[in-house]
Amino acid sequence: MTNTDELESVRIFDTTLRDGEQSPRTSFDYNDKRAIAELLDEMGTHVIEAGFPVNSDPEFEAVSDIAAATDATTCGLARVVETDVQAAIDAGVDMVHVFVSTSDVQLQDSMHASREEAVTRAVKSVEQVRDAGLEVMFSPMDATRTNESFLVEVVEAVSEAGVDWINIPDTCGVATPSRFAKLIRLVGEHTDARIDVHTHDDFGLATANAMSGFEAGAHQAQVSVNGIGERAGNAAFEEVVMSAESLYDVDTDIDTTRITELAKLVEEKSTIPIPVNKAVVGDNAFAHESGIHAAGVMENTDTFEPGVMTPEMVGASREFVLGKHTGTHSVRKRLEELNYEPSDSEVRAVTKLVKEFGAEKEQVTDSVIARFAEEVGVSEVDSEEVRV
* Cβ-based nearer residue to Mn ion, 237 or 357: 237
Query: Each residue of 194-220: b (16+ CB within 10 Å) or e?
Result: bbbbbbbbbeebbbbbbbbbbbbbbbb
Residue with smallest beta-carbon separation from Mn ion? 19
Shortest distance (Å) from residue 134 CB to Mn ion: 22
* Cβ-based nearer residue to Mn ion, 19 or 239: 19
Supply the angle between the helices 30-43 and 57-69 in degrees, to the nearest 10.
30
**51 near 72, Cβ under 8 Å?**
no
- Stretch of 18-26, 177-185, 209-217, 320-328 lying at the interface with Mn ion (CB under 5 A): 18-26
Binding of Mn ion at residue 19 (CB under 5 A)?
Answer: yes
User: Which residue, among 35, 28, 117, 106, has the nearest Cα to 81 in the 3D structure?
Assistant: 117
For residue 360, give every residue at least 6 positions away whose Cβ sits within 8 Å of its Cβ, in sequence order, or none: none
- Stretch of 17-25, 43-51, 257-265, 292-300 lying at the interface with Mn ion (CB under 5 A): 17-25
> How far out from the chain centre does Cα 84 lie?
27
- Provide the β-strand partners of residue 76: 51, 96
Shortest distance (Å) from residue 229 CB to Mn ion: 6
* Cβ-based nearer residue to Mn ion, 77 or 91: 77
Distances, alpha carbon 266 to alpha carbons 145, 252, 260, 319, 377, in Å = 31, 21, 10, 23, 46
Q: Can you tell me the distance from the alpha carbon of 354 to that of 337, in angstroms, rounded to the nearest whole number? A: 16
Coil, strand, or helix at residue 357? helix
* Cβ-based nearer residue to Mn ion, 173 or 177: 173
Binding of Mn ion at residue 196 (CB under 5 A)?
Answer: no
Shortest distance (Å) from residue 107 CB to Mn ion: 17
Shortest distance (Å) from residue 222 CB to Mn ion: 8
How many residues of this chain bind Mn ion (CB under 5 A)? Answer: 1
Interface pattern 99-118 for Mn ion (x via CB under 5 A): --------------------
- Stretch of 15-23, 32-40, 257-265, 346-354 lying at the interface with Mn ion (CB under 5 A): 15-23
Alpha helices in 236-324 (DSSP H): 237-242, 259-270, 291-299
Shortest distance (Å) from residue 233 CB to Mn ion: 9
**26 near 61, Cβ under 8 Å?**
no
- Stretch of 12-20, 72-80, 102-110, 213-221 lying at the interface with Mn ion (CB under 5 A): 12-20
Shortest distance (Å) from residue 230 CB to Mn ion: 5
For residue 147, give every residue at least 6 positions away whose Cβ sits within 8 Å of its Cβ, in sequence order, or none: 103, 104
- Of residues 144-173, those binding Mn ion (CB under 5 A): none
Binding of Mn ion at residue 142 (CB under 5 A)?
Answer: no
Shortest distance (Å) from residue 198 CB to Mn ion: 6
CB 90: neighbour CB atoms within 10 A?
15
For residue 274, give the DSSP letter. P
Shortest distance (Å) from residue 200 CB to Mn ion: 6
* Contacting residues toward Mn ion, per CB under 5 A: 19
